[in-house]
Chain A
Amino acid sequence: MSSPGYGQPTGMGALLRPKLISTLFPRLPRDSHRSYRLALGLGTAAVIVLAALRLFPVALIAAAFLLPLLVALYLVDVNVYEDEPVWALSLTMGWGAVAGVGFGLLALAVAPSAASVIVNGTSQYLVTQGLVLPFCGFFVLLLGPLVLLRYQHFNAVLDGVTFGASTGAAFSGAQAITYSAHLIGAGLRPGGAVLPWVWRLLSLGLGMPIVIMGAAAAACAALWLRYRAPVRDRQALGALGHPAVALTLAGLLVAGAAVGETFLSAGGWLIWLVAFDLVAVSLLRRTIDVGLLEESAATGAGGPSHGSVPETPS
């Protein structure tokens, strides 16, 4: 494994530069980053090709599973759950999927009819589906990882990051599939304009899930930092490390990302989400840095490295 030691200083410039794979999968050894980047790139390309072939329902399912599948591979790859995989997986990805299905059904129940949207515009769902459901859904998805906070076995800040990210990925995918279930019943090639579909699929498969994963991971990291980290580390993030601030900020980040859909075009929403992704990933990188330094201290300076420092810019 060629990852550098934990204690390697990470400059502010590196913290602010978003590196998706090393941020969402902080325990991944550096020499595995390329494989994960390649897998993410191939998956994204597959989604675009499926959309170009007008296989929109298939592309939607592929987009919804893209990040959860990668997260599941990561969990197995680095053996995050060690000897307790079943119940820990149930409380993270399992809970995320259940909550995602629940909120997908809830969104279907409160969604205005197509006629109402045509007549009254998207203001019909701005508040409920644009703000309230994403905000509430975010806090509900955190309930699974919160149960794991009680267990001493998972006592590192990076555990919180992993649990939050994996729960967020499963939540996003399950919600998108549940809400769009009618599309699956409309046939293999139901028709529609390709380019807006591509933007929409990238938003639902990457843009929104990354915001949710980043926000959930950052919120969990703050909780783990507060209740699991040594006292000396608890102030490491300043106000951002306080659970009340971190949870509120993360919830607002998710709701802010979601509400853009209600007044932007498909392409506009994707750009909007990229901006929120950058904020979420940058925020998460700061917490990961604290987590890595914490593990460095626990392992002993200069000791063997098992994780990886987020990539420094080359």
Chain B
Amino acid sequence: MSILAERASRAPSGGGLGRLVVHVFGFLFLVLIGLSILTNVLAAPVVVVPCTSGQPCGAPPTVPPVIRETAWRSSRYGFSLDYPASVAKVSQQTPSGVVLTVDAGGKNGAVTIQGFATGTTPAEAISDQVGGLGGVSQLAGDTNAAHQLLGAGVGYLAGAGRTYVGDVTSPQGSQPVSIASEAASDGRVTVSATVVGATSDSGTRSDLYAVADLIINSVRWPG
């Protein structure tokens, strides 16, 4: 590397654009916004017409073969569930609930099943559970009609269901995640189940939701 540069008085010409800077910037910025709107519209996922509750809604999604069912039981509330150990494993557990991580054909997600004491409504259980999710930013209810849960319930008991969207963030940017939560009560205990996964891995026809459905439907109420 040469460090013997000849000193030269070199000053760039300045301010050629003058006050046009704002106009040029504004024009280019608007063009950029227009192009990004166009890109987003073209890259947007195809909107699936939402099903109507109680009406046939096409073939069910394919589910990975269940090789081995493993049982888990809440020592505090007495409910139990089964999960396919080939695609799900226990990450965390407490006497009142369990967190399962699911890897279904490369689609990752977390399924949290938690019990709540008598007196907690399914809606309250969902709010409590979703509010306690760590690592999710920009959390808000999902207003897309195609993403709503129809006939929500746990362990074949009808209950409440809600979907949310949020982001898992890092210093480099954001990645969208989808959250679906449903809860039901048998009068003695309320059980809430929440599924979280990257938006690209989630959805009503995704393997992640199919496995989560298996687990949520397997919940057996105490007693």
Contact = CB atoms under 8 A, between A and B. Distances in A.
Nearest to B29: A43
A307 interface: yes
A119 B99 contact: yes
B218 interface: no
A185 B32 contact: no
Contact of B15 (A1, A117, A182, A188): A1
Contacts of B101: 115-116, 119
A114 B144 contact: no
A118 B136 contact: yes
Nearest to B102: A115
A143 interface: no
Contact of B1 (A27, A176, A184, A227): A227
Contacts of A185: 43-45, 200
Contact of B19 (A35, A119, A153, A196): A35
Interface in B159-176: 165-176
B29 A119 contact: no
A192 B167 contact: yes
Best-buried of A114, A120, A230, A258 by chain B (most CB within 10 Å)? A114
B196 to A, nearest CB: 5
A175 interface: yes
Contact of B7 (A82, A155, A183, A193): A155
A126 B10 CA distance: 45
Contacts of A228: 3, 5
Contact of A298 (B7, B14, B15, B198): B7
A69 interface: yes
Interface residues of B, number: 75
B170 A261 contact: yes
Interface stretch (A70-78, A245-253, A278-286): A70-78
Given A39-B21, A176-B173, A192-B140, A69 B15 contact: no
Contacts, number: 268
Contacts of A1: 14-15
B222 interface: no
Q: How large is the interface on A (under 10, 10 to 19, 20 to 34, 35 or more residues)?
A: 35 or more
Interface string A206-234: 00100000000000000000011010000
Interface stretch (B33-41, B55-63, B71-79, B118-126): B33-41
A190 B141 CA distance: 11
A44 to B, nearest CB: 11
Nearest to B111: A115
Contacts of B17: 32, 35, 73, 76-77
A287 to B, nearest CB: 18
A50 to B, nearest CB: 7
A295 B138 contact: no
A191 interface: yes
B171 A130 contact: yes
A62 B196 contact: no
Contact of B176 (A156, A177, A182): A182
Contacts of B176: 182-183, 186, 190, 192
Nearest to A208: B171
Contacts of A117: 134-136, 168
Interface in A233-261: 258-259, 261
7 contacts: A35-B17, A60-B173, A78-B15, A107-B172, A116-B108, A119-B99, A125-B170
List the 9 shortest-distance A-B pairs measured between CB atoms, nearest first: A306-B11, A179-B173, A258-B171, A180-B173, A117-B135, A115-B110, A191-B165, A61-B36, A39-B25
Interface of A: 1, 3, 27-29, 31-32, 35-36, 38-39, 42-43, 46, 50, 55, 57-58, 60-62, 65-66, 69-70, 73, 76-80, 82, 103-104, 107, 111, 113-122, 124-125, 129-130, 133-134, 149-150, 152-153, 155-156, 175-180, 182-188, 190-193, 196-197, 200, 204, 208, 227-228, 230, 258-259, 261-262, 265-266, 295, 298-300, 306-308
